Each structure stands twice: as C-alpha cells, then as structure tokens.
Amino acid sequence: MKSFLARFFLMLGNIVIGLAVLGPAGMLGELANGLGVGIHDAGLLVTYGAVVLCVGSPVMAWLTTRMDRRILLVGTLVVVAVAEGASALAPSYGVVLALRLAMLAVAAIYTPQAAATVGLIVPEAQRPSAIAFVFLGWSLAVAGGLPLITFLATHFGWRAGFGALGVAAAMIALLVFVTLPGGLTGKPLSLASFATIARNKRLVTILTVTMLQISGQITVFVYLGPLLRRLIGADDLGVESFFGFYGVAALVGNVIATGVVGALGTELTLALFLVSTTLGLAVWTAGVGVFAAAVVGVFF
C-alpha cells in the first residue's frame, strides 16, 4: 500500500513540475499586463526556463548522483514551493525571471529521478508500468492543471496562479516525504557516462527526434492563449477549455500509444504520432483564424 502511495505522490509531483515549467503559458496575458511587458517577453519565461532545464537536468543528475532519493526529490519540491511563493510576491519581470531560472535549474532533476526512483521500490516486472504512471503527471498537468491555472489567473490575477503552485508543491513534498522510503540510491553517474551516450548513435538520434518533436509542439502551445484570443476571438472560458482539450487529447494519445506499441513496435508507433503532430500543426496553420481548424489542429 505504501509503495502505491509513493508512486501516486511521485506522479503528483510531476504535475507540479509540469506546471512549474508550463504554468506561464496559461497566464501569458495576465503576466504581460501585470509585469508591464509584451506577450513575447512573457513567453520567454517558458523559453529561458526550457534552456535551463535542458542544461540543468544532466548537470544536476551528475551533482546529486549519490544523494538519498527521498531527500533529493522532497528537496526539489520544497525549492519549487519557495520559488513559486516568492514569484507570487515578485515586484518586477526581472525578479520573476530570475526566480524561475533558479527554480528550474533545480526542478530539472525531478522527473528523471522520480522515474528512476519508482523503479527501485517496485518489482522488476512492474517497473515499465510504474514508470509510465509517474510520467502521467505531465499529461495531467496539461489536462487539468493548466486550465485551473488559467482560471485562477484570469479571475484572481497571475499572483494567485503562482501562489497556488507554491502551496501544491509544499503539500506534495510532505506527502512524498511520508510515503517514500529513505536510503534509496541509484547507480553512480560519472562524467564518462555522458561521453558514452554521445557515442551511441541510436540514443543521440532519439534525443534529436524528441527535441524536434517537443519544439514543434511548444512553439504553438506556449502562445496558445493569446493566439486563440486574437485569431478566433476566444474568451477566458474558451481558452481554459482549449487547454483542457489539449491535455485530454494528449492523455488519450498516451493511452493509445501504450496499447498499440506492443503490436506495432516502437519505431512505427513513434512515426505515427510524429505524423499526428505534424498534421496538427499543418491544420492549425492552414486554417488560421478558423475555430474548427483550431480544434482539429489541437486534437492532432
């Protein structure tokens, strides 16, 4: 029972981390108005944060390789809680940006280490499903969390969005501490490990494809709210609904992929979903300003 609770709360932690990364996308307009900057600058809160994640994840994995997993994961969530709370009180754009960069440099460690940690507390036969369950937090962050952040920001201001994330991170940190056993450590990671990865053409190809695929999605996703308002005249409820629809479609896609990958194989499954992403972006572009095209594009 405790093992299940630990998995569940590690998954909830991924919801918090997902929203820590993507949260500004749900309140770009409110951030821009409240901080006195343009939509472009508000969007850079996500862009610069993504760069920090890219660099911070391997660096932090190396620096913390010998740490107790419970201390590491709980500490990461505590840092997120403090940074989100401080962001809710920040007086300027520069302060919000600095807080986010510092927060995401630490938060970068959570998702990969949560996946590795859950593999240490379940039987080997259950590891694939347990790891997939933990990663589900990112889909749920988009499906349920981002519409909620958008609602809070549009009705109570962007500070309420950051404040809610801070409270959620603190609560989940406590729950992970209570349910995750102490003394868990992973295999030591050396600098030589990165050189080994760099020489592995298959891994480098996977990383490159993943980078391109996520870049293609995020290009539209970060600015989805302002685009919907300007291009199709969506109101606050419409934007919240689109974020929810996007997340539900992503969740359904994950479920379908999990079900068919065994029969179709990894390569074909990935190819089909990359085609889906490309088709969605093409429909969005070709039907710009048309409500139906926006719906179909987001679905794919």
Task: Check which CATH number belongs to the domain holding 102 and give it.
Answer: 1.20.1250.20
Angle at 67 between CA 61 and CA 68, to 5 degrees: 125
Shared domain for 270 and 138, answered yes or no, is no
Last residue of a domain, one of 158, 173, 189: 189
What does pTM read for this prediction? 0.84
Shared domain for 46 and 73, answered yes or no, is yes
Residue among 151, 160, 155 nearest 88 (CA): 160
Last residue of a domain, one of 189, 208, 242: 189
- What is the residue-wise DSSP string for 117-184? HHHHHS-GGGHHHHHHHHHHHHHHIIIIIHHHHHHHHHHH-HHHHHHHHHHHHHHHHHHHHHHSPS--
CA gap 17, 111 in Å, rounded? 8
Task: Please say whether the beta carbons of 287 and 231 come within 8 A.
Answer: no
Shared domain for 164 and 107, answered yes or no, is yes
Please report, in tens digits, the pLDDT of each residue of the chain (300 residues total): 667 888 899 999 999 999 999 899 889 889 999 999 998 899 889 888 888 888 888 888 778 878 889 999 999 999 999 999 999 999 999 999 999 999 999 998 999 889 888 888 888 777 777 887 888 888 888 878 888 898 899 889 999 999 999 999 999 999 999 999 888 777 777 777 778 888 899 889 888 888 888 877 777 788 888 888 888 888 888 888 888 888 788 888 877 877 787 788 878 888 888 899 889 889 988 888 888 898 898 888
Token duo for residue 19:
């929203």
For residue 1, CA distances in Å to 4, 81, 176, 182 come to 5, 27, 14, 16
Task: Please say whether the beta carbons of 185 and 67 come within 8 A.
Answer: yes
Q: Which domain holds residue 230?
A: 191-300
